[in-house]
Structure 1
Amino acid sequence: MEWLLAAHGDVNSIHNFNCNDKYRTPEEYTQKDGVPRPILGYIDLLYGTIIMLLYVPCLMVMLQKENIRLSCFKIMFLLGFVDLCAIGVNSVTTGILLIEGAVYCSHPITIFVTGALGLGLWCSACMICLILVLNRVLDILFPTLVKKYFSGSRTTMVLMIPVLYGLYFCFLTPPLLFTSKYQAWFFDPFIYADKTLEYQNYPHTANNLFIVVATCMLYGYFCAAIAKQFRKRVESTNKRSHTQIFLQSTLICLVNFVAAMIYVYMQFFPVADFVIVIGHISWQLGHGCPAFIYLFMNTTIRSGVSKIFRIKIGASVHTKTATVSTVYHQGGAAAHHSAHHSSSIH
């Protein structure tokens, strides 16, 4: 984004991002270099719309006075807001571009700006997830430390770290750029042949390799410690519940890890089209899964949403189980970015 601002909005003034007037109009770039993919495009649009509709009431519940006062809900709200914005890039915007069959030179300014935002959101979400898992670990295993680092306004101060982290990637590193030919986002605009390495975003690669892997490892430690802690004092019914939560969280972490690693790999090496699609879907699921987790597995948020829409929940949940489930699901939904999508994010 810094390059675009320095060029006063003229992308053709940016070195290696000049479309070179190969064709005269955006439509010609689409027709000559792009591949319209209406089916995939409408699927992305539908998915993005559904996730947004599910996420908004979850965020409303998080903002309720009794919830937002807690450090974990403050972190979850920021993560949810970032997810919502990211879905606007990787699903809604991507869907529109796929339907058209657009490439970078079809809409250079729009794709440049959107790609920069998507990259910043992805990296910010990675950092927020790391902080959320750390918050859960401290809260459950080291309660005195969570009070030291996350009490009162300290949580807000801590959350400035991922905000600034995301802004760094958005404004000071190369953006992601869309091409319908490969139905995903790459750092290479595919204007010139054999220049892929000149467009690489190495800070992004470091983010995916370090932050994502660190979050997965930390979350694995968290789950193992909690399982050990409850093994001797939780009823068998609750043990099964904890096992299910652990498996669900592990799957979410795995989805994001796959996305992150695929996006890093495909920036440097040629891969089959289906691998690119898997990477992009994993990116979308990483930002979208938490909405389903909050609504269907997080007792606090599910109850709050049901009150907003005046929906009666049929089954009652034992207080102790509900409390434990809430703690676990907050960690689980947090894990979703743990391995974030990558190049395009990612």
Structure 2
Amino acid sequence: MFQIPRMHSSHYYSFPKLAVDPEAAGPKEHLPRLGVWIGATLNCVALALNRIAEMVPSASGLKFLFQGNRLYIWMGICVAIMIIRMFVTRPFIYNSAVAAYLAAPLITDDIAWETEYYTSLLLPIHNISVAVVLGFLYLFLCLSVLRMTRMTSCSFDKMQLQLFIQALVICTTTAIAALFYVVVEFVALPRSFVIATNVVWQLSHGVHGFVYICLNKQVRTQVRKMIGCAKQTKPIITVSNTITAVN
């Protein structure tokens, strides 16, 4: 739905309801997108904590946070924050100049007023916090893994390494997208950089599927079954002959 204005090279007045008029449409038609972004970033933080708890012996005490039904608590927290977030900020309007949803939608001649009216500090604060937290957690994890391999000559199995790479790639793209969006909100940059930021934001969501398919054998097998490309295994029948000797 959000790609329609881009395909038509349109602006706010071409699709006022789709672009979201904050006075007419309200937050329910647009702000779920921001809520989903908040939930996705919080999931990345939880994923980083999970990797630390599983791979760093000194942090094994954190494993209880992800055991049993506690996983549903993490999911509930993310969903609750996603819902609350939709009602504490103004909606963003589509900016046709840079093909993205930014604080200044360029629908009037007063850019300063637009920026002041639509800009919310909640999103930049959240994005910066997520980038800092993810950077700290993964720096701690990488240093801990390197120290363990040097001091004890221990090695991690293939499954642990794959899970670590999956989490690292997913969280890295999310952190980069978060920082880029903060920069373009407050710094005057070339149009090409803003469009690249929008592409990175889309990549931070779309790359997850490719990461799982490339690095997760179980997911790859299930995908093959879904599209009918799974290898058919022939059943192996073993026949045993028993000879009984009678005296």
The answer to whether the superposition gives a TM-score over 0.5 is: yes
Structure 1 residue 279, shift from structure 2 partner: 0.5
Specify whether residues 255 and 135 from structure 1 end up closer, same or farther in structure 2 by C-alpha distance, changes over 3 A only. closer
Equivalent of 2:138 in 219, 228, 233: 219
Tell me if structure 1 keeps the 8 A contact 2:5–2:15: no
Partner of residue 109, structure 1: 17
CA contact (8 A) 1:212 1:257 kept: yes
Matched, 1:97 2:18: no
Aligned in 2, Cα 1:227/1:249: closer, same or farther, shift over 3 Å?
farther
Structure 2 partner of 1:172: 88
Give the C-alpha shift of residue 211 in structure 1: 1.7
Aligned residue number for residue 263 of structure 1: 181
In the other structure, the counterpart of 1:289 is: 207
For residues 127-276 of structure 1, what are the structure 2 equivalents within 5 Å?
127-141=42-56, 142-147=59-64, 149-192=65-108, 193=110, 194-195=112-113, 196-230=115-149, 232-234=153-155, 242=161, 252-276=170-194
Cα distance in 1 for partners of 2:29, 2:136 equals 31
Structure 2 residue aligned with 1:36: none
Q: In structure 2, what is the equivalent of residue 124 of structure 1?
A: 39
Deviation at 1:137, TM superposition (A): 1.4
Percent same amino acid among aligned pairs? Answer: 25
SS in structure 2 of the partner of residue 103 of structure 1: coil
Q: Give ranges in structure 1 of 5+ residues lacking alignment.
A: 1-92, 314-346
- Per-residue CA deviations over 1:299-336 (Å, capped at 9, x if unaligned) read 222233234445347xxxxxxxxxxxxxxxxxxxxxxx
Shift of 1:174: 1.5
Cα offset for 1:278? 1.1
Structure 1: distance between partners of 2:13 and 2:45: 36
Mapping 1:53-92, distance limit 5 Å: none
SS of match in other structure, 2:31: helix
CA–CA distance in 1 between the matches of 2:78 and 2:163? 26
CA displacement at 1:143 relative to structure 2: 3.6
Question: What is the deviation of 1:291?
Answer: 0.4
Kindly tell me: are residues 216 and 262 of structure 1, through their superposed partners in 2, closer, same or farther at Cα, counting changes over 3 Å? same
Tell me whether 250-259 or 169-178 shows the greater mean CA deviation: 250-259
- 8 Å contact kept, 2:47–2:167: no
Aligned residue-pair number: 217
CA RMSD in angstroms comes to 2.9
Partners of 2:54 and 2:44 in 1: how far apart? 15
Q: Does the aligned pair in 2 maintain the 1:111–1:177 contact within 8 Å?
A: yes
CA change 1:256–1:105 in 2 (3 A) is same
Q: Contact 1:174 / 1:187 at 8 angstroms: preserved in 2?
A: no
Q: Deviation at 1:259?
A: 2.2
Q: Which runs of 5+ in 2 are unaligned?
A: 21-27, 232-247
Normalised to the residue count of structure 2, the TM-score between the two structures is 0.75
Q: Report the CA distance shift for 1:212/1:162 in structure 2 as closer, same or farther (over 3 A).
A: farther
Structure number with greater Rg is 2
1:6-43 per-residue CA deviation (whole Å, 9 max, x = no partner) reads xxxxxxxxxxxxxxxxxxxxxxxxxxxxxxxxxxxxxx
TM-score (norm 1): 0.55
| CA offsets 1:49-93 (integer angstroms, 9 cap, x no match) | xxxxxxxxxxxxxxxxxxxxxxxxxxxxxxxxxxxxxxxxxxxx3
TM-fit CA distance, 1:254: 4.3
Residues 174-232 of structure 1 show CA distances to partners (whole Å, capped at 9, x for unaligned) of: 22221222211112332331211232111101100102221222122223323443451
Over 3 Å counting, the alpha-carbon distance change for 1:166 and 1:202 in structure 2 is same
How much does 1:163 deviate?
A: 1.1
Instruction: Report which of the two has the higher share of helix.
Output: 1
